[in-house]
Structure formats: structure tokens, C-alpha cells
Amino acid sequence: MPELPEVETIRKGLEKKVRGKRVNKVIIRSEKAIKAPSSPDEFVKKIEGRKLSEIKRKGKYLILELDCKDSLIIHLKMTGRLIYSSEGEELSYARVIFIFPDKTQLNFTDMRGFGGLWLVPDEEFSNIPLLKSMGPEPLENDFTLARFRGLLKGKKGKIKSLLMEQTFIAGVGNIYSQEALFLSGIHPERNASMLIDREVESLYNNLLAVLREALSYGGSSIDAYVDLNGKKGSYESHLRVYGRQKKNCPRCGAVIRKIKVSGRGTCFCPVCQK
Ligand SMILES: [Zn+2]
């Protein structure tokens, strides 16, 4: 699933290509992709003729504000993609298409169909899973080490599972939680409440560093992720532990192990991570 660096790469692409454009026409190929309002006709009617005024992101959600009281919220989930193309281009698994006056279009494609689009009044995110209770954005200035320490206070459970909780920190998932823990020498199953000050600081610094680094490479194309132009991210060849089970640790050479943490496959170095 795309995480912060991937969704942010798409957001930047949208800002460049579609911000300020008016939506001439909306074509729905799969009504299942429309999560709100309950009537797809209403979805179309409310968007057609409107301009995309701002492109924002909250965690793994994209928020396209319209020049009215509504916002279009998009979550890509496992295989959702947003691809910008010329008008009339037929893409595989196209579910919703937004056509602009300049003969271009924005395609929401989704092979497995878990992703979704919501059209809701601005800031009224209560009927969208997780959006209202989303934790802080790790790359924003107010996410300081002191704040991270505060968030960890009283938290029990495995540190890797906690990092992936969207109500704890926004946008971190299975890839970047593993990478940050590896860089910090922390075992993914460590109890969050048992981390010492030095480890908390190291985890904070490495989490931010790995997210920034991945963003600079346009994200990692592990599953279906591509950017707005259909181009893959190039960070996956830089991943240190994710998906590298049975290979050698880039730091000490030991064999990387894979275990399940809260049901999710997790790689770590049994020597470097304690
Ligand atoms: Zn190692």
C-alpha cells in the first residue's frame, strides 16, 4: 500500500497537473468506487463544472478541495492509482475518470478495487474511516522530538505495530516502519513503553530521515504504486530490510529474518536490532 512518500509524490503531481483546472465531465465505470454520497449521480452532479482549488494530503488520504463547500477525498489502498493522461485514453481497471477542458483527464484505476472516493463537505470527515482521528504528520514542523516522546508516553504494545497505527502517526505503514526500526537498531517486537530515551531519539530521527529520503526518490514501487505519469518510484532498491528476508544485513552481514508482527510480515536483522 502506498505510504506517506508515495501519496505525497502523487499529491505533488496533482498540484502540478490538475490544480486550478475545472472538471468538465465525470465518468463512473464502477459505482463501487464511490463511497459518498450514496448516489453516484449526485457525485457526478456536484463535481462537474467545479474547479480543483487545493490539493492536500492527510496520512494516506488525498484531499482535492473544490471551489465550493465540498472536497473529494481519495484513498488508493492496495492497488489504486491516479494517472494523468490525454482525453479518451483507455487505461486498465479505470473506475472513475475526470475530464478537463484542455483535453486531458485524471484516471482513478484500481485492479483489486479496495480504494475509494468520497465527496464530502469541507472538513466534515466524520464518515470517512480514520480521517478524523488521524495522528500528526511526521514531516511537518510541529512534529518535534518532544511531541514524539509525548505520544509514546503510556503506549504499550509492539513498537512496529504502534508506528503503523494511523491514529498514532499519519502515513507510516509496513515499509517505512521496518526501515526506521532497522536504522535505529530496535527489534520490531520491542514493547513501546520499554524504549529508553536514546532509542526514542534515534527512532524519531531515522523515521523522519527515511521518509524524506524515500520522498526524494519518488517513493517505492512495491505493489502497484506509480506516480501521476505512470512512472514507478525508485526507492525500493535502497530499502535496507523490507522484503530482504534471507539476504544479508547491509550493516553486519547477518541473515535477515522475517516474522509476523500483528499479522504483517516484518523483516529485521537479529544481530543489529535488539
Ligand atoms: Zn545486522
User: Has 90 been annotated as catalytic?
Assistant: no
Residues 6+ apart with CB under 8 A from 20: 51, 52, 53
Q: Is 33 a domain residue?
A: yes
Report the pLDDT value the prediction gives residue 122, as an integer from 0 to 100. Answer: 78
Do 102 and 199 sit in the same domain of this protein?
no
Mean pLDDT by 10 residues, the chain (274 residues): 96 98 98 96 98 97 95 96 97 98 98 96 80 94 98 95 97 98 98 97 98 97 91 95 97 98 97 98
Quick one: cell of 273?
536490532
Domain that holds residue 10: 4-121
Do 150 and 212 sit in the same domain of this protein?
yes
Give CA–CA dist 120/138, Å, rounded.
25
CB-CB neighbours of 229 under 10 Å: 10
Do 8 and 98 sit in the same domain of this protein?
yes
Report the pLDDT value the prediction gives residue 130, as an integer from 0 to 100. Answer: 83
Instruction: Determine which one of 19, 165, 264, 270 is catalytic.
Output: 264
What's the gap in Å between 183 CA and the centre of ligand 1? 10
User: Has 264 been annotated as catalytic?
Assistant: yes
Number of continuous H segments (helices) and E segments (strands) in the chain: 6, 11
The share of the chain scoring above pLDDT 90, in percent, equals 94
User: Has 60 been annotated as catalytic?
Assistant: yes
Do 215 and 114 sit in the same domain of this protein?
no
Do 159 and 114 sit in the same domain of this protein?
no
Report the pLDDT value the prediction gives residue 223, as an integer from 0 to 100. Answer: 78
What's the gap in Å between 118 CA and the centre of ligand 1? 44
Report the pLDDT value the prediction gives residue 45, as an integer from 0 to 100. Answer: 98
- Contact by Cβ (8 Å): 54, 72: no
Say whether the peptide bond before residue 2 is cis (omega within 30 degrees of 0). no
Q: Is 18 a domain residue?
A: yes
What's the gap in Å between 257 CA and the centre of ligand 1? 10
Q: Is 126 a domain residue?
A: no
Element (H, E) at 98: strand 94-99
Q: 516522546: which residue's cell? A: 149
SS3 178: helix
The structure's pTM equals 0.96
Q: Is 262 a domain residue?
A: yes
Give CA–CA dist 53/58, Å, rounded.
16
Instruction: Provide the CATH number for the domain around residue 230.
Output: 1.10.8.50
Instruction: Provide the CATH number for the domain around residue 31.
Output: 3.20.190.10
